[in-house]
Structure 1
């Protein structure tokens, strides 16, 4: 009896341990880069995530140090990328990017980072 029971138990353990791994859409790259200093005001902020995001449930806002929004237009999301245009002629200073996404597997993640414009 033990001769067939041992392989069966091993198969059950391996099957249970090998279930699907549900990941979250994590920020992979950003332009401007997280914590960077840029000499010229960027025309947009572009974020790339580790998996696709749901456009209707994801968003981003870019604000100046005083808290005012500097975005110009709607956030665009397609696949694993999200971007938003910025107001023209941003003055030197520190800007905060705050984002939230719902991945295609319905997990929500969020975060924020800053970049600086310094000629």
Structure 2
């Protein structure tokens, strides 16, 4: 009986491990962005484009853009292309002045998982 209980415990542990790993992989991870993280651009962007590892829900996703002197920069509503919901596009309502910018983003993936992060870029 001890052998069977031990075997069941090992099997249970393996199943929990596999389920936990699968759940961790279900989050939308930021794959790339435009402007790129830690880049310096010559021309100020008209929009920020973030590409994720899986589809995101635009109505529950967005970002905050902070510029020089910690000033909040006005942005439009986040949207995704109907064909490619892995790409979140956020238009900028004003031209960016030269300086350093911080993007604080948050998304909800199509399967309901929340993810957030931050990156920086600068305008020359």
Query: What is the TM-score normalised by the length of structure 1?
Result: 0.77
Listed one character per residue, the Cα deviations across residues 58-105 of structure 1 (whole Å, up to 9, x for unaligned) are: 111212122323234212134111111124432110011110011122
Asked if the contact 1:96/1:113 (under 8 Å) is kept, the reply is: yes
- Matched with 1:29 is 32
Aligned pairs, number: 111
Q: What is the CA–CA distance in structure 1 between the aligned matches of 2:37 and 2:60, rounded to whole Å? A: 23
The answer for unaligned runs of 5 or more in structure 1 is 1-8
Instruction: Give the TM-score normalised by the residue count of structure 2.
Output: 0.74
Q: Is the 8 A contact 1:25 1:51 kept in 2?
A: yes
Quick one: distance in 2 between partners of 1:83 and 1:71? 14
How big is the alpha-carbon RMSD for the aligned residues of Structure 1 and Structure 2? 2.5
Q: How does 1:1-119 map to 2 (within 5 A)?
A: 13=11, 16=15, 19=19, 21-22=22-23, 23-78=26-81, 79-118=85-124
Q: Where does structure 1 differ by over 4 angstroms across 4 or more consecutive aligned residues? A: 17-20
Query: Which structure has more helix as a fraction of its residues?
Result: 2
The runs of 5 or more residues in structure 2 that have no matched partner are 1-6
SS in 1 for 2:48: strand
Q: Is the 8 A contact 1:63 1:71 kept in 2?
A: no
Give the CA deviation at 1:18.
5.6
